[in-house]
Amino acid sequence: MKWRNGVKKIVVVIGDAPPRDPEPETGYTAASVAKVAYDVDPVSVYGIDTGQLNSTSFQTLVTSSTGTTANASAPDQVSDLVNKAISSELNKPFAWIQGPYVAKVGDPVDIDAAASHAVSGSLTSYEWDFNGDGVYDETGTSPRITHTFSEEFSGVIGLRVTQSDGQTAVATTQVDITDDGDNTPRDQDNCPDVSNWGQTDYDNDGVGDECDPDPGFPTQDKPGVCVVGKNCPPDSGTPSAQPTPAPSGGSTPTPPSPLSPPRRPRQFRQLLLQSAPSPTQGPTRAG
């Protein structure tokens, strides 16, 4: 499923049996699902237990995604608990990080979360996760922070905000840190030390155009461009820079005036005169 960025997202799991970790058909684990839920600009997971859904692994998944679990002792309680889960999510603060970010290793990155806001009261803290592991590395009260990455990194960074009533919300955004400052990892980069957005390689020699001393672009001395009288082949069809000489043994024919009608052959002109009606003859009418 393609999740939309910048909106609140929840998953409600309704079950009456204990979850399996890992899930036997897909191999998914609680940890892998929690990681995906975190990466997609987080999804909060809520559980509605109608039997034995609650377990240590499932509760870890719910807690890590800032969701909750509720027990339904009767079927008619399920719809009410779903509505409560939605209301609970809407009452949380809104967390947001500008992004994605692309930067060079060692360059400071200014991270902006100023669009985050409280639903009730005010935001009291901002916690920052700089490597996407769900563990918050730095806490402050400002929505902006500068961080320098000391090595290549491609993944998400996270933010958790807390509002004055204690409720929290999480946001993530993509970050690509490379040796040359473009968004291609070094082991896949055709110019690993020079920024080469798009990885353009005109001559397909495996070396990107930005760092290729001979990228193979057409020049006057290479195929693709020719100069009349120098390196154009005789049958190239390139127009000559000199006027066409007159035919031998005669003068240069004078081109007809563009306003003069073309002259018809003599025999054709005589045929037209013979078939032309007399000036005194009127038009032929149908009987």
Percent of the chain clearing pLDDT 90 (strictly above):
53
| CA torsion through residues 174, 179, 184, 185, sign | negative
What is residue 17's predicted lDDT score, i.e. its pLDDT?
A: 83
d(CA 67, CA 157): 20
**Model confidence band, residue 1 (pLDDT cutoffs 50, 70, 90):** low
Tokens read off for 83: 């509505």
CA distance 246 to 173: 74
Output the pLDDT for position 56: 83
| 231: amino acid identity, one letter | N
Dist. CA 191–CA 201, nearest whole Å: 10
Reported confidence tier of residue 239, pLDDT bands at 50, 70, 90: very low
List the helix and strand counts (H, then E) for the chain.
Answer: 4, 10
pTM over 0.85: no
Which residues have a Cβ under 8 Å from the Cβ of 249 and sit 6 or more positions away?
none
Determine phi and psi for 53, rounding to 5 degrees.
Answer: -65, -40
Q: pLDDT by residue (tens digit) across 100-145?
A: 999 999 999 999 999 999 999 999 999 999 999 999 999 999 999 9
The pLDDT score that the predictor gives to residue 51 is 82
Residue 13 vs residues 10, 60, 61, 71, 226: alpha-carbon distances, Å: 10, 14, 11, 12, 69
Is residue 254 pLDDT above 80, yes or no?
Answer: no
Asked if 12 contacts 48 with a C-beta cutoff of 8 angstroms, the reply is: yes
Domains of the chain, first to last? 9-90 (no CATH), 101-178 (2.60.40.10)
Q: Is residue 234 predicted with pLDDT exceeding 90?
A: no
pLDDT tens digits along 58-109: 888 898 888 999 999 898 999 999 999 999 999 999 999 999 999 999 999 9
Token pair of 112, please? Answer: 């902006």
How many Å from the N-terminal Cα to the C-terminal Cα in the chain?
Answer: 82
Higher pLDDT: 250 or 113? It is 113
In the numeric block, which tokens belong to residue 127?
């916690």
The identity of residue 279, as a single letter, is P
Q: Token digits for 143?
A: 């929505």
What's the pLDDT score for residue 57?
A: 82
Residue 231 binned pLDDT confidence (cut-offs 50, 70, 90): low
Predicted pLDDT of residue 253: 46
Q: Could you report the per-residue pLDDT of 202-217, keeping only the tens digit for each? A: 888 899 999 999 887 7
Residue 118 is predicted with a pLDDT of 97
Confidence category of residue 233, pLDDT binned at 50, 70, 90: low
